[in-house]
Amino acid sequence: MNVYKNKSLYRLQGGIELNQSTKNFARSDEEIIAMTENYRCELETLYGFGEPLPDTGNWLVDRDGVRTTRELPNGGVKVVTACRAPLAVTKLIENAETGLHGVELAFKLRGMWHFIECARSEIADRSRIIQLADRGLPVTSETARAMITYLDDFIACNLDFIRREQSINRLGWFRGCFIPYSDSIRLAESSGLRGVIRSAGSLRAWREHVVALLDGNTMLRLYLAASFASAIIEPLGLQNFVAHLWGRTGSGKSVALMLAASVWGEPDGRLFGTMNGTLNYMQSQAAALRSVPLCLDELQTVRDSFGNYDKLIMQLGVGVGRGRADRDGSARKTNEWHNTALFTGEEPLLKPESGAGAVNRVLQLCVDDLPGNIISNGGETVAVIKENYGVAGAMFVSGLLRDGSRCDEIIAALRGRYKDHLSEILQAAPTSGKQAAILAALLAADEFAEITVYHTGNPLTPRDVMHYALTSDDISKPRRAMDYTLNMISVHQNDFQGVYRKSDGTVSDGWGHQPGGMIFGKLTDSAAYINKSVLVRWLEEGGYSFDAVKKEWAQCGFLQKNAAGKYCCMPPKGMNGSFIKLHLKHDTESPEIT
């Protein structure tokens, strides 16, 4: 018995079948080719390219091309050729997001129809329409003027005859539809994204292989859940986050990323790539995918470019690109994205000096913690997903839709499950709200994937994933700065004056020697008196700021204030300058640092 038959999500969807949009989308390549050929035949019949096109004014369009006649001053007649092939405007296209208009042109060369999309401005300017020759349009500098006039006449005469469409230049959610699974709004050819999200093979073949891999493999199931979760980030109003799979080479990390990408399309270079790119490139990719996960392999390829990766994490996590202005000073529309980012690498994404904001946006999964590889039969898995891909994502999105639009009831039920998981994790795990939110989103996505795709009867539970959340101490930058400082004091203890107890119990300065070089301060059994400039330099080298952590240090008793409430103390005997007193035996369990 399916354990979810009594859950509201399952009742609302009633077993979930592909809606008409995703049925059309999930066709095989052979079916798509056949449909395209049928469409071209219909187009030829509709426009009657063996005869003059309807309402073309003074223009004659036949198998030899497009032409008209003009009277000369001497009474003669001149034939003016606009195109040496049949040419028509087959669609008027409006970008549903920007409001910009475009057209689809159809022309027949060597017995085959060719279709190109372009902006309206490109067929209204002689210098720009000539550039369409690179895309196959038979236009020259001699015919450009006549072609512009002909296309303008054609559109004016057939405004009610030409089919109108709305398009968009990105994937993901838009007005309750999920592009490219929508019948009402299609993906623009100019976006360069056509074919990125597509399907092949069968869900059954993909599911049978994947379900076998997921048996007892919580880490892989959680990583796949991050791929599915990308589609619910925007409707549930959740924060973008990064799922990073890292560890030793040869453990199946790249195959796991390819498997996560195969949820949405073919795991090739268009949907699945490396991190060898600039931050602007990654942001543009995230904006183009919008609600589809950004899958990038090999973190170590950009180590020198990003250093500690905090900027990368924050820029992708914020979900808004850099603001820019046009030449006239007006603000350009900024890119936005609401998705997950799936990374792999041989090292962790987070560093000891990483800020709490970056730490809170990352789920790190270390394959070295597993007894074996995350995917052991990598070659077999790649072979399966190269032939079967894209249908799982279509099924998942179809479960969120009803009559082609996002179903509010299902989204509300899914949001309720997310809140339930969030509450349970926060009550049971010593972690931050943002880390708990990541796990709650993954659990909600996995639960819905269980209903729509897996059908195993064993979804992930909070107990399965709680140990993947970072603790509050792991997240707290002041706490990590404190541990870093204690380590630096230990490394440099011979650069401090020390104290030791004699056999009679009295205390004497020094470790039995004086530092031979620079003197950083003085150590006692319970405290460190350290020159402030030395401490500030250490913290800056480690990626921390004394001003940013001093208040929390004082609250937990690690840093002592003087009688005036200042973060300084009297210099040790025989020393001058500004000194800080740090208590080495402080309350390490203090909840004050968060």
Residue 5 has pLDDT above 80, yes or no: no
Q: What is the pLDDT of residue 594?
A: 31
- What is the mean pLDDT of the segment spanning 330-357? 83
Give the chain's mean pLDDT. Answer: 83
Between residues 355 and 346, which one has the greater pLDDT? 346
SS (H, E, C) 445-504: HHHHHHHHHHCCCCCCCHHHHHHHCCCHHHHCHHHHHHHHHHHHHHHCHHHEECEEECCC
User: Which run of H or of E encompasses 45?
Assistant: helix 29-47
Half-sphere exposure of 291 toward its Cβ, with a 13 Å CA cutoff? 23
Residue 380 has pLDDT above 90, yes or no: yes
| Extended strands (E) in 72-160 | 77-83, 87-95, 101-109, 112-119
Residue 8 has pLDDT above 80, yes or no: no
Give residue 258's identity as a one-letter amino acid code.
M
Q: Which of 205, 263, 201, 236 is nearest to 395 (CA)?
A: 263
Residue 111 has pLDDT above 60, yes or no: yes
Residue 25 has pLDDT above 60, yes or no: no
Is omega for the bond preceding 515 within 30 degrees of 0, making it cis? no
Given a contact cutoff of 8 angstroms between Cβ atoms, the answer to whether 290 and 416 are in contact is: no
The token duo for 370 is 């597993």
Between residues 51 and 171, which one has the greater pLDDT? 171
pLDDT tens digits along 418-451: 999 999 998 887 888 888 999 999 999 999 999 9
Edge-to-edge order in the sheet of strand 294-297: 272-274, 294-297, 340-345, 241-246, 362-366
Between residues 575 and 379, which one has the greater pLDDT? 379
Give 104's contacts (C-beta < 8 A, 6+ positions apart): 89, 90, 91, 93, 115, 116, 117
Which of 89-93, 323-327, 542-546 tops mean pLDDT?
Answer: 89-93
Q: What is the pLDDT of residue 327?
A: 62
Q: What is the pLDDT of residue 512?
A: 44
Between residues 305 and 165, which one has the greater pLDDT? 165
| pTM, to two decimals | 0.78
Q: What is the pLDDT of residue 591?
A: 35
Residue 347 has pLDDT above 70, yes or no: yes
Give 112's contacts (C-beta < 8 A, 6+ positions apart): none
- The mean-pLDDT minimum among 43-52, 348-357, 411-420 falls in 43-52
Q: What is the pLDDT of residue 191?
A: 82
**Strand 241-246 to 362-366 pairing:** parallel
pLDDT tens digits along 187-245: 888 788 888 898 999 999 999 999 999 999 999 999 999 999 999 999 999 999 999 99
- The mean-pLDDT minimum among 253-267, 326-340, 478-492 falls in 326-340
Confidence of residue 264 (pLDDT cuts 50, 70, 90): very high
**Cα–Cα distance for residue pair 93/398, rounded to 1 Å:** 26
Residue 413 has pLDDT above 60, yes or no: yes
User: Which run of H or of E encompasses 129?
Assistant: helix 126-129
Q: Is the dihedral of CA 176, 182, 183, 188 positive or negative?
A: positive
Residue 516 has pLDDT above 70, yes or no: no
**Strand 163-168 to 65-71 pairing:** unpaired
DSSP per position, 185-227: EEE-GGGS-TTTS--BS-HHHHHHHHHHHHTT-HHHHHHHHHH
Residue 271 has pLDDT above 50, yes or no: yes
H helix intervals, 246-340: 253-261, 279-289, 303-306, 310-318
Confidence of residue 163 (pLDDT cuts 50, 70, 90): confident
User: Which run of H or of E encompasses 243?
Assistant: strand 241-246
Between residues 11 and 276, which one has the greater pLDDT? 276
Confidence of residue 350 (pLDDT cuts 50, 70, 90): confident
**pLDDT above 70 covers what percent of the chain?**
82
Confidence of residue 256 (pLDDT cuts 50, 70, 90): very high
Confidence of residue 101 (pLDDT cuts 50, 70, 90): very high
Q: Both ends of the chain: CA-CA distance in Å?
A: 44
- The mean-pLDDT minimum among 369-383, 417-431, 534-548 falls in 534-548
DSSP 8-state secondary structure symbol assigned to residue 307: T
What phi and psi, each to the nearest 5 degrees, are found at residue 424?
-65, -40
DSSP per position, 530-566: EEHHHHHHHHHHTT--HHHHHHHHHHTTSB---TTS-
Confidence of residue 459 (pLDDT cuts 50, 70, 90): very high
- What is the mean pLDDT of the segment spanning 291-313? 79
**Phi-psi group of 482: left, alpha or beta (phi > 0 → left; psi -120 to 50 → alpha; rest → beta):** alpha
- What is the mean pLDDT of the segment spanning 474-489? 80
Q: What is the pLDDT of residue 3?
A: 36
Residue 24 has pLDDT above 60, yes or no: no
Per-domain residue ranges for the chain?
A: 48-168, 191-321+336-367+380-474, 476-583
**Phi-psi group of 253: left, alpha or beta (phi > 0 → left; psi -120 to 50 → alpha; rest → beta):** alpha
Q: What is the pLDDT of residue 53?
A: 53
Residue 113 has pLDDT above 90, yes or no: no
Q: Which of 187, 185, 184 is nearest to 198 (CA)?
A: 187
Confidence of residue 142 (pLDDT cuts 50, 70, 90): very high
* Cα distances (angstroms) measured from residue 357 to each of 335, 341, 433, 456: 21, 16, 12, 36
Between residues 466 and 293, which one has the greater pLDDT? 293
Residue 385 has pLDDT above 50, yes or no: yes
